[in-house]
Amino acid sequence: MSTVTLQHETDTEWRQPAKGTVAMITLIIAESAIFTIFVVAYLYYIGRDVHGPTPKQVLEIPWANSVCLLSSSLFIMLAEHAIAHGKMAAFKLWWAVTFLLGLIFLVGTGVEWKKLIFEDHLTISTNLFGTTYYSLVGLHAFHVIVGLLLMLVVLVLALLGFVEKKHAERVKTLALYWHFVDVVWIVVFTVVYVVGR
Amino acid sequence: MTITKKRKATQGNFLTSTQELNCATIAAHRNTRPVKSSTSIRGSLAGLALLVGHQAVALAESPTSIFSTLSTPAHETNSIGLFVVIICTAIFAVVAALLGYAFWRFRAGNSDEHEPAQVFGSMQIELSWTIIPVLIVVVLFLATARTLFSIQDAPKPANALNITAVGHQYWWEYHYPEYGIVTANELHIPVATGNGGRVTYIKLTSADVIHSFWVPQLGGKTDMLPNRVNEMWWDPQKAGVYVGQCGQYCGAQHAKMLLRVYVDTPEQFAAWVAGQRKQQTELVADVVDSTSEAVNPSVGQKVFEQQSCINCHAVQGTVANGRFGPDLTHLMSRDTLGAGAIQNTPENLKAWVEDPQQFKPGCLMPAMHLTNKQNLQITAYLQTLK
Amino acid sequence: MGSQTYPVAGGLQTETAPSRHGYLEEIHSWIVTVDHKKLGIMYIVYALLFLVIGGLEAILMRIQLAAPGLHFLEPQTFNRMFTMHGTTMVFLVGMMILFGFGNYLVPLMIGARDMAFPRLNAFSFWMSALAGILLYFSFIGGNGLAGTGTAPDMGWFAYAPLTEKAFSPGHTTDYWTIALLANGIGSIGTSINILATVFCMRTKGMTLMRMPMLPWLYATMSFLTLLAISPLTAAQAMLMIDRYLGGHFFDTQAGGSAILWAHFFWIFGHPEVYVLVLPAFGMASEIIPVFSRKAIFGYPAMVAASVSIGFISLGVWAHHMFTIGLTSYGNAFFTLSTMLVGVPTGIKLFNWLATLWGGKIQYRPPMMFAAAYLIQFLIAGLTGIMLSVSAWDWQLHNSYFVVAHFHYVLVGAIVFMLFSALYYWYPKMTGRMLDEKLAKWHFWLFLIGFHLTFDLMHIPGLLGMPRWIYTYEADRGWGTLNLLISIGGVIQGIAVLIFVYNMVHSYFKGELAGPDPWDAWTLEWATASPPPSYNFATDPVVGSRRPLWDLKHPDDPDSAFE
Ligand code: HEA
Ligand code: HEA
Ligand code: CUA
Ligand SMILES: [Cu+2]
């Protein structure tokens, strides 16, 4: 066989999506499937307990918490915007605010659980409500923790001055994850505190 | 608890009375499909299919063959099944013939160096082999849906016999609320045809894990789930004994969770019911001491009642009221022991009481480690439970 | 002459003997590798090992079932055997070997140098591999040492509440659960990786519609894996919560539901079987054209059919639950959706047929297996259609008819296609050809064994023989059939032994393959066999679906038509 070229004249620029973004989107698809199963289980078991306590008796709507978490999505957008334009000081500020709001949410959940466990004596093994509640809310909280840890790493690196404009793409990917965590909270909130109560 | 099989009386061609049901089932038995206004093509196809099916399976004579059907649900299931088999066989014949032809006709010669003409596709062809399968699917689906609704949503005749069957790890418990009967493993029901015939409706549930109730000649299986009640019906057309077994893996002895259904004539059934309603009474013991040498039923009863047998077994009319194992009140009216594991003979009974694990390793009745004497005494007692 | 040349012709292909550094170093290099080719081969070897183990378990079951009332295996041992057999075959053989081929082939076929995330790739492999170790450790760890043999015994779909602590004490179920969790994490990782590779790493000129069929099917399969394995992971997590934290998800005593597990499992389980079959479709779509010497027929239709199989299969799961007490509307819906899968599947089959049509079919080993695959998949699909008739399924469900159906797909279609693929790509992976004479023995023996076993297996099903029974009554008329079925199993075993011998023998003694032994058209054949670690000396640039056809037929290139 002769030496033949494997090249074709392609004038058009060869562009494909960034692999980080694709990976994050696919991860989010998988995570959504996991959450769906837990949500379905929660909805299915509403009101099927053989004994109490029931959600109505013990759950209080975590308004403040939810506001913190949801607003953090706005701040992380500001941060994304800032780094895309190379405004590193603004980036650090908004990033830190996002982190703090997430942290407040997490602490809020902790407080709520403390009350449920020690005052209402609701644990994961008490009844179906306990089982489904702690696993669904816990699964979400776990995602918040992962998000916070990742954000903390970025924050530290940023404060040490290692994060630059060229990292905007990666910051965006991480922000995508955080938006997902927020959207999931909307679902969890609706299911647990609106439908389930 | 939820009852899942909703009944709808709205479908016009559903049968509404036992009378009709009986006619229907007799007719169905005769020409192998239920009386319904169905297209004659399907009818004759199903008939043909039945024939082929019978031929194919006649090779192996089996009491559990799904083709030798004896009740309406089984017939209907069978006809739809064979209808689908015919269509699938036709599809297979066509596609396999094309494949075979291509394999043979287009094999490469030895000397031929040229590449064949490169064909990349054709829109028309793609469309045709999309549309034809869609049409086939529509036909198959409509046929299935008809059978499905007619079995699952059939209206319940007023005089139907109601039974509750409870699956336990490796044995079956039956309640006849109408008669106050509780029994185990061997189910008695009346034939549905003729004078005094009744259709049987069975509510199914489970005491532990999932089981499935299956007697192929009478109908398809329905699962028994803890915390839930399913329902199914049979209208057997011929008296006789039909066998089946548990259809869902349920643990160590799933294989020996066998099932026997006695379809009785109305007279036989009435006699059986009368027998089952008899209460056992405490026998008056000559000797109360259980270590006595005497082997007689009354001593046996005391031994039985002093052992933990009564924690698990009930004998109506006596102190024995355990619910974990089969009700033994009329043990002797049963042909088998341990859900069909062995024949109910005096030797087997004694051997079972000595160590059920030798027949059904892993079953939930432990070997009781009694003396030979005690076993003899208990066996003597159990044999009075007629 | 262009700047980038056909690497083979460019003289890169040098027949250097493998350098003789110490084997410890060699092993070390495999353990720390992040090279997609090495990982791919490790997946495949690992899976073949488990194929033999899972096959042996099947043979043990078959001996026990060869006649009524045998006492070869204890009841519990038998139950463990089918649980381990099913779990092993699906997760450790099926998933692993398919991901192995995916790892090896996808980057090569799209002209990439590696997967998108090489380290994630290694991590996924080792997670999946851990699953096998965890699962088989249960034999010793399940309830303590000394032959107590406490592998899990609740069936591969582990219906609740049999898996709850009350009915399955000890740790057997726990090993099963964490093994599948580990395997699931590995699978999700690999799927993400394959998707990112397919979408972001294609070489210049390879638009999605120029991609070979195999990467397309792997992309669909990966997508399905994300949506299917995740529910399994969630359900397994719930089971662990029940077993370790006292939760009640599937605890029927506390109001929990047995049906919920069934739904969750089959929401995973049904797409899972398509996850297993889609890569086989991909392999068929590469191999059949090459040995028919024709381009694949109806490429766009093939792509569309694959993707729609993926979508439809997400909505059919309850056809495994027709007897569980769904409403009549539920049963009707799942009958319809299940039957609809037949349409895109039919499109695929007919397009393969059209590819053969007018070709010049060369019956080399890969094509022999592929031909058998076509017929067998047809039959398997049609028995699937029979099962989807819910009313009839009330009889057939959990009978040996179902066992016959799914082995027809899993063995008759998938395993046959895997053998085909191994014959086809083994030269690429090792640089040597497999022996054709042994291949013929392997093929015919396996074919005979397969048909003896699984054709006959339909009949006891129709005669009322349920699955999962360690023994059966003599009066049922199942005895002779079961004996023949068991004999068929042993014949399959002998065939597999021949194949294993062939693989080992040819690795050292096989004829040298050269870069392109089959005169094929996709990019993996444009580099040396085995390919260098960087795959391509220069990044290839493609102008059609069959870049090597264009090279070999400069007068009649595909690119002229696209
Ligand atoms: C790779 C594996 C694989 C594949 C591809 C399939 C494909 C199909 N399967 Fe199968 N199946 C399994 C693996 C697989 N299955 C397993 C493992 C189980 C048992 C699990 C367990 O219980 O342990 C199972 C069980 C199973 C059941 C449940 C049985 C029961 O437990 O009661 C059903 C019921 O509907 C079913 C149906 C189908 C259908 C309709 C297809 C279709 O996709 C087939 C489509 C193909 C064709 C139809 C042929 C080609 C098409 C044409 C020639 C066009 C013309 C045809 C028509 C218009 C009809 N399968
Ligand atoms: C990819 C999947 C796959 C494959 C390839 C197979 C292959 C085989 N399977 Fe399996 N099977 C399943 C998936 C698979 N199976 C699943 C999912 C179940 C359900 C489990 C459950 O219900 O929980 C099942 C269940 C199952 C049962 C039902 C058990 C029961 O319900 O009681 C049986 C019974 O015959 C069986 C038999 C076989 C046989 C004979 C083979 C043969 O094809 C195997 C041939 C291969 C070999 C024999 C290996 C090579 C061996 C050697 C090289 C060693 C030398 C050996 C000899 C010379 C004999 N399988
Ligand atoms: Cu009960 Cu199987
Ligand atoms: Cu399925």
- Whole-angstrom distance, CA of residue B366 vs CA of residue B325: 11
Which range is least confidently modeled, B317-321, B327-331, C3-7, C487-491? C3-7
- Mean pLDDT across C156-181: 89
- Whole-angstrom distance, CA of residue C275 vs CA of residue C217: 9
- Mean pLDDT across C467-472: 94
pLDDT for residue B386: 84
Instruction: Give the burial string for C295-330 (b: 16+ CB within 10 Å, else e).
Output: bbbbbebbbebbbbbbebbebbbbbbbbbbbbebeb
Give the list of residues 6+ apart from residue C448 with CB closer than 8 angstroms, or none.
Answer: C488, C491
pLDDT digits (tens, 9 = 90+) for A115-172: 999 998 999 998 999 999 999 999 999 999 999 999 999 999 999 988 888 899 899 9
Residue B28 has pLDDT above 50, yes or no: no
Residue B223 to residue C325, Cβ atoms within 8 A: yes
Preceding peptide of B157 cis, ω within 30°: no
Residue B14 pLDDT grade (very low, low, confident, very high; cuts 50, 70, 90): very low
Percentage of chain B lying above the pLDDT 90 cut? 60
B179 CB under 6 A from ligand 3? no
Who wins on pLDDT, A52 or B177?
Answer: B177
Residue A3 to residue C238, Cβ atoms within 8 A: no
- Mean pLDDT across C37-48: 95
Residue B350 has pLDDT above 80, yes or no: yes
Give yes or no for a contact between C364 and C291, defined as CB atoms under 8 angstroms apart: yes
| Shortest distance, CA C546 to any CA of chain A (angstroms) | 11
Rounded mean pLDDT of chain A?
90
Residue B152 to residue C331, Cβ atoms within 8 A: yes
Task: Assign a CATH topology to domain C38-552.
Answer: Cytochrome C Oxidase; Chain A (1.20.210)
Give yes or no for a contact between B35 and B180, defined as CB atoms under 8 angstroms apart: no
In 3-state terms chain A splits into helix, strand, coil percentages (rounded to 5) of 75, 0, 25
pLDDT for residue C7: 45
- Whole-angstrom distance, CA of residue C207 vs CA of residue C543: 9
pLDDT for residue C557: 80
Q: Which chains touch C (3 or more CB pairs under 8 A)?
A: A, B
Quick one: angle between helices A19-45 and C213-245, nearest 10?
Answer: 40
- Whole-angstrom distance, CA of residue C38 vs CA of residue C103: 9
**A60: region left, alpha or beta (phi > 0 left; psi from -120 to 50 alpha):** beta
User: Is residue A181 one of the residues assigned to a domain?
Assistant: yes
- Whole-angstrom distance, CA of residue B225 vs CA of residue C516: 58
Residue A2 pLDDT grade (very low, low, confident, very high; cuts 50, 70, 90): very low
- Whole-angstrom distance, CA of residue C68 vs CA of residue C479: 6
Residue B215's DSSP bridge partners are: none
User: Is residue A12 one of the residues assigned to a domain?
Assistant: no
Nearest residue in A to C115, CA atom? A19
Measured in angstroms, how far is the CA atom of residue A154 from the centroid of ligand 4?
A: 45
Q: Which of C207, C361, C209 lies closest to B121 in space, CA to CA?
A: C209
Q: What is the ipTM of this complex?
A: 0.91
- Whole-angstrom distance, CA of residue C408 vs CA of residue C457: 10
Residue C347 pLDDT grade (very low, low, confident, very high; cuts 50, 70, 90): very high
Both tokens assigned to C464: 């009322």
Residue B189's DSSP bridge partners are: B263
Concatenated DSSP letters of C193-255: HHHHHHHH-PPTT--GGGS-HHHHHHHHHHHHHHHHHHHHHHHHHHHHHHHHH---TT-GGGT
Residue B242's DSSP bridge partners are: B261
Residue B289 pLDDT grade (very low, low, confident, very high; cuts 50, 70, 90): low
Give yes or no for a contact between A106 and A145, defined as CB atoms under 8 angstroms apart: yes
Rounded mean pLDDT of chain B?
83
- Whole-angstrom distance, CA of residue A186 vs CA of residue A31: 15
pLDDT for residue C20: 55
**Closest ligand 3 atom to the C-alpha of B209?**
1
Percentage of chain B lying above the pLDDT 70 cut? 81
pLDDT for residue B293: 67
Residue C12 has pLDDT above 60, yes or no: no
pLDDT for residue A10: 52
Structural domains of chain B, ranges and CATH numbers in brackets: 2-107+124-152 (no CATH), 161-277 (2.60.40.420), 297-382 (2.60.40.420)
pLDDT digits (tens, 9 = 90+) for C121-132: 999 999 999 999
Using a CB–CB cutoff of 8 Å, tell me whether B326 touches chain C. no
Who wins on pLDDT, B288 or A82?
Answer: A82
Give yes or no for a contact between C80 and C154, defined as CB atoms under 8 angstroms apart: no
- Mean pLDDT across B127-142: 95
Domain ranges of chain C: 38-552
Rounded mean pLDDT of chain C?
90
Percentage of chain C lying above the pLDDT 70 cut? 94
Residue B5 to residue C325, Cβ atoms within 8 A: yes
Who wins on pLDDT, C289 or A51?
Answer: C289
- Which ligand is nearest the CA of B250, by number? 3
User: Is residue A167 one of the residues assigned to a domain?
Assistant: yes
Residue nearest to atom 56 of ligand 2 (CA): C493
Q: Residue C293: list chain B partners with CB under 8 A.
A: 108, 115-116
Residue C305 pLDDT grade (very low, low, confident, very high; cuts 50, 70, 90): very high
User: Is residue A70 one of the residues assigned to a domain?
Assistant: yes
Residue B265 pLDDT grade (very low, low, confident, very high; cuts 50, 70, 90): very high
Using a CB–CB cutoff of 8 Å, tell me whether B60 touches chain C. yes
Question: What is the torsional sign of CA C217, C219, C221, C227?
Answer: negative
Concatenated DSSP letters of C141-200: HSS-STT------STTTT-TTTTSTTTS-SSHHHHHHHHHHHHHHHHHHHHHHHHHHHHH
Q: Which of B222, B214, B310, B221 lies closest to B257 in space, CA to CA?
A: B214
- Mean pLDDT across C418-426: 96
Residue C40 has pLDDT above 60, yes or no: yes
Q: Which of B116, B126, B137 sits opposite C358 (nearest CB)?
A: B116
pLDDT for residue B290: 54
pLDDT for residue A12: 64
pLDDT for residue B168: 95
Give the list of residues 6+ apart from residue A136 with CB closer than 8 angstroms, or none.
Answer: A38, A39, A41, A42, A188, A191, A192
Residue B327 pLDDT grade (very low, low, confident, very high; cuts 50, 70, 90): very high
User: Is residue A80 one of the residues assigned to a domain?
Assistant: yes
Quick one: angle between helices C479-509 and C416-430, nearest 10?
Answer: 10
pLDDT for residue A103: 96
Q: Residue C193: list chain A partners with CB under 8 A.
A: 23
Give yes or no for a contact between C502 and C474, defined as CB atoms under 8 angstroms apart: no
A residues 4-23 lying closer than 8 A (beta carbon) to C:
4-8, 10, 14, 16-19, 22-23
Strands B342-343 and B336-337, bridge-based pairing: antiparallel
User: Is residue A54 one of the residues assigned to a domain?
Assistant: no
Q: Across chain A, how many H-helices and E-strands are there? A: 6, 0
Residue A11 pLDDT grade (very low, low, confident, very high; cuts 50, 70, 90): low
Neighbours of B359 (CB within 10 A): 16
- Whole-angstrom distance, CA of residue C469 vs CA of residue C477: 15
Selection from B155-159, B261-265, B370-374 with the highest mean pLDDT: B261-265
The neighbourhood of ligand 4, an ion, using CB within 5 A, equals C 270
Residue C526 has pLDDT above 70, yes or no: yes
Give yes or no for a contact between B45 and B83, defined as CB atoms under 8 angstroms apart: yes
**Closest ligand 2 atom to the C-alpha of C276?**
1
pLDDT digits (tens, 9 = 90+) for C370-392: 999 999 999 999 999 999 999 99
**C443: region left, alpha or beta (phi > 0 left; psi from -120 to 50 alpha):** alpha
Which CATH number goes with the domain that contains A91?
1.20.120.80
**Helix or strand run (H / E) with residue B176:** strand B171-176
Residue-range definition of the domain harbouring residue A88: 20-46+62-195
Residue C485 pLDDT grade (very low, low, confident, very high; cuts 50, 70, 90): very high
Q: Which chains touch A (3 or more CB pairs under 8 A)?
A: C
Residue C466 to residue B247, Cβ atoms within 8 A: yes
- Mean pLDDT across B254-274: 94
User: Is residue A2 one of the residues assigned to a domain?
Assistant: no
Q: Which of C340, C347, C394 sits opposite B221 (nearest CB)?
A: C394
B337 CB under 6 A from ligand 3? no
